[in-house]
Amino acid sequence: MYLGDVINKLNEHLIRVSNIDYYPAQFVRNEIESVAKECIRWSIEDFKYAAKLKRGENWEEWYDTNRFEEALHNMINNHDGSFGITCYTVEYYLDEYCRLKDDPIK
């Protein structure tokens, strides 16, 4: 579940955070929204964008979109924290996890 989904599912309920603490859902929602404003976020859309840049309109012939989510999770969990994640990192995981056929221009 993504951050936006969590925010949308919060209603005016109490949320138990530990054994004794209850917080109004609106408070939790506000905290999540505050943190979200300061986060850098990568998504499946970034993989689609990278594929379109690399292959143009026929990008779906080259990449399996069903593998984008797996590639995204592997990228986030396995990237080098010293360098972070860049558009080149996205392109690497796109090719490693999602490519359907050999690339003559690689």
Residue numbers of the chain with a pLDDT score lower than 50: 12
Give the Cα separation of 39 and 56 in Å (integer): 29
Q: Are residues 9 and 26 in the same domain?
A: yes
Instruction: Specify the pLDDT at position 33.
Output: 82
Q: Is residue 106 part of a domain?
A: no
Provide the domain count of the chain: 2
Whether 68 is covered by a domain: the verdict is: yes
Q: Is residue 105 domain-resident?
A: no
| Residue 86 and residue 51 in one domain | yes
